[in-house]
Amino acid sequence: MRKFNVTLVGGGSTWTPGLLQTLCKLKERFPVNKLVLFDINEERQSVIGEFAKVLFKEEYPELDFKYTTKVEEAYNDVDFVFMQMRTGGYAMREKDEKIPLSMGLIGQETCGAGGFAYGLRSIRDMIKTINDIRTYSKDAWILNYTNPAAIVAEALRREFPEDKRILNICDQPVNLLRSYGRILGRESKSFEPVYFGLNHFGWFTHLYDEEGKDLVPELKKLIHEKGFLPVDAEQRDKSWLDTYGMVQDICEDFSEYLPNTYLQYYLYPQYKGAKLNPNYTRANEVMDGREKRVFEECRKVAEEGTVKNCKMVHNDAHSEFMIQVAESIAYNQGKIFIVIVENNGTISNIQDDAMVEVAAILTANGPRPLSVGKIGVFHKGLIESQLAYEKLTVDAYYEGSYEKALQALTLNRTIVDAKKARKVLDKLIEANKEYWPNFK
């Protein structure tokens, strides 16, 4: 069985220990020869890197492992690069959330004005990193989680039009599939989804089981009766439980399909905006929760020199999804995953050059999307205005255009009012001076 060399960019991410544990768990299925963790933050990288040394000594002794902050050590002779970086860190995520909320607008990592701000920060670093990767490894598969994935995917489509080995992915559809499994009381592994939309902006139309039965009608009934919980509800913070709970509200109003959770921000911007606490946002919850836990636990494992007492148990969709996507490409398995691809007729009445999120067969030649066909007026209208927002955001980046930025924010359903769009844009420009292009 062929073994692969993998580099993880954002090696100091809070999600990295889980990914490393899952690499151990899945080592028979996706065996790794060499693994490099790369981060620009030496402190974060070394805490997680030292944890990894202990973990691998006990669970993956044959693995050639190192961590680094040097580009030339990270990208030489790599088969797969997994990316999960956060330009500006949680400090900037906090601003993305709090600045819009201070004006009564949705403040969220990837949606609305916050996602816009984060997008304009991510693009530059993502382009630089992919150029670095391609200097050393021309053919490596680049699997990207870095958010906001919709904006990043559109920018990479423009920047690297000939590069067919960049694939943007999101774990939220898998989180939803697993949660459907919980509500149905069955394993979600065998579900075959039909899904369409943009990243964090899509719907499941069908969900077939092994016998070809569509489970969506039963799911709708169960969601109506019981509400909706994430598969890992017991481990979730309150804000995520509220978010999953909103699926029931969306289904009551729009009963056709099962929505992605992120649609709550676009369908109920005022209601949801009023429920978010402008003084304590998701960034605070993560800094006080996951980030603290992960770094404390990693330090403890490194000190003790063993993972035997390690309390981090990762069974999240995030890490398994990334590795299974790599596995399907690596061994030409042709499994079906929901991924982000250029539309080119997959949704037949949406423009070709949209980066859409749909189910695709994944082989060594990349994703082959499964046709969705024509979508209805409501969903088409929603998607097209969100798509225009995404494209104008990327235009604003490339052209350094204030007006394009203002157009983008005005089109975003979480904002709508152009005077509010201008006000939030001006505040975000001030907060992002170090990261954004100069708008004229």
Residue 362: closest CA among 321, 318, 301? 321
Distance CA 210, CA 217 (A): 16
171 given a catalytic annotation: yes
Query: Interface residues for Mn ion in 97-136 (CB under 5 A)?
Result: none
Q: How far is C-alpha 14 from the chain's CA centre?
A: 14
Using CB under 6 A as the binding rule, whether residue 282 contacts ligand G6P is answered as yes
Which is closer to ligand NAD, CB of 133 or CB of 372? 133
Give me the residue label for tokens 């299974």.
324
Residue 410: closest CA among 399, 400, 398, 422? 422
Q: Quote the least distance from Cβ 140 to ligand G6P, whole Å.
A: 23
Out of 75, 118, 145, 262, which one is annotated catalytic?
A: 262
Q: Kindly write out the interface string for residues 36-75 of this chain, putting x where it contacts ligand NAD by CB under 6 A and - elsewhere.
A: ---xxx--x-------------------------------
Are 251 and 231 in contact, with CB atoms under 8 Å apart? no
**Quick one: tokens of 247?**
């699926």
- One residue of 172, 343, 407, 414 binding Mn ion per CB under 5 A: 172
Which is closer to ligand NAD, CB of 86 or CB of 413? 86
Tell me: is residue 170 an annotated ligand-binding position: yes
Are 415 and 424 in contact, with CB atoms under 8 Å apart? yes
Which amino acid is located at 144 in the chain?
Answer: N
Residue 169: closest CA among 391, 358, 20? 358
**Quick one: tokens of 141?**
């598969």
Strands (E), 103-230: 141-144, 166-168, 192-198, 201-208
Angle between helices 377-399 and 149-159 (to 10 degrees): 60
Query: Interface residues for ligand NAD in 160-189 (CB under 6 A)?
Result: 170-172
262 given a catalytic annotation: yes
Query: Interface residues for ligand G6P in 63-122 (CB under 6 A)?
Result: 109-110
Q: Quote the least distance from Cβ 340 to Mn ion, whole Å.
A: 10
- One residue of 79, 171, 297, 320 binding ligand G6P per CB under 6 A: 171
Distance CA 160, CA 163 (A): 5
Query: Interface residues for ligand NAD in 311-330 (CB under 6 A)?
Result: 318
Q: What angle do CA 171, 174, 179 make, to 5 degrees?
A: 125
Which is closer to Mn ion, CB of 75 or CB of 337? 337
Q: Quote the least distance from Cβ 169 to ligand G6P, whole Å.
A: 9
Span of 87-95, 135-143, 347-355, 421-429 interacting with ligand NAD by CB under 6 A: 87-95
Q: How far is C-alpha 320 from the chain's CA centre?
A: 13
Q: Quote the least distance from Cβ 245 to Mn ion, whole Å.
A: 19
Q: Kindly write out the interface string for residues 134-163 of this chain, putting x where it contacts ligand G6P by CB under 6 A and - elsewhere.
A: -------------x----------------
**Quick one: tokens of 72?**
């030339």
Which is closer to ligand NAD, CB of 150 or CB of 247? 150
**Quick one: tokens of 229?**
């919980």
- One residue of 7, 172, 346, 432 binding ligand G6P per CB under 6 A: 172
Distances in Å between the Cα of 153 and the Cα atoms of 185, 270, 348, 368, 390 are: 35, 28, 20, 17, 10
Tell me: is residue 93 an annotated ligand-binding position: yes
Distance CA 292, CA 295 (A): 5
Span of 45-53, 58-66, 166-174, 218-226 interacting with ligand G6P by CB under 6 A: 166-174
Distance CA 63, CA 271 (A): 50
Which is closer to Mn ion, CB of 56 or CB of 228? 228
> What does the binding site for ligand NAD look like in residue numbers (CB under 6 A)?
9-10, 12-15, 39-41, 44, 84-87, 89-90, 125, 129, 145-147, 149, 170-172, 318
> What does the binding site for ligand G6P look like in residue numbers (CB under 6 A)?
109-110, 147, 170-172, 282, 286
> What does the binding site for Mn ion look like in residue numbers (CB under 5 A)?
170, 172
Residues designated as active site: 171, 262
Give binding residues for Mn(2+) as ranges: 170, 200
